Copies of this chain bind each other. A is one copy, B any other.
Amino acid sequence: MSILHTVNKSPFEKNSLDECLTHSTDGCAILLLEDGVYAAMQGTNVESAVKDAMASKKVYALGPDIKLRGLSTDRIIDGIEVVDFAGFVDLSESNDKVQAWL
């Protein structure tokens, strides 16, 4: 019964990532997309929260949104997997349902 959680807002502007992290259970998948991809970067104020979550949850980030915003894949937190839209579709298929933290 695993959930794919999606977060499309900046963790600095809105509470979406925080609510996602506190309402997701071990073994789930979290996809960062749109302005949510800023949470995937090293050196930010939310890096430790993301790393803590990664101990029990798998975190992904949408490649086209990272590139559009000028973020370097070299600077993404180790262990976050970058996917394209085909990968997003696969994640929606391989998990039972999707929770969009709008």
Closest residue to A13 on the B side, CB-wise? B15
> Is A14 interfacial (CB 8 A cutoff)?
yes
Chain B residues with CB under 8 Å of A13's CB are: 14-15
With A and B bound together, what is the CA distance between A15 and B12 in angstroms?
Answer: 7
| A50, chain B: closest CB distance, angstroms | 18
| A19, chain B: closest CB distance, angstroms | 9
User: In the complex, which residues 1-32 of chain A have their Cβ closer than 8 Å to any Cβ of chain B?
Assistant: 12-15
With A and B bound together, what is the CA distance between A12 and B15 in angstroms?
Answer: 7
Q: List 5 A–B pairs whose Cβ atoms lie within 8 Å, in order of A's numbering.
A: A12-B15, A13-B14, A13-B15, A14-B14, A14-B15
5 pairs of A and B residues whose beta carbons are closest in the complex: A14-B14, A13-B15, A13-B14, A12-B15, A14-B15
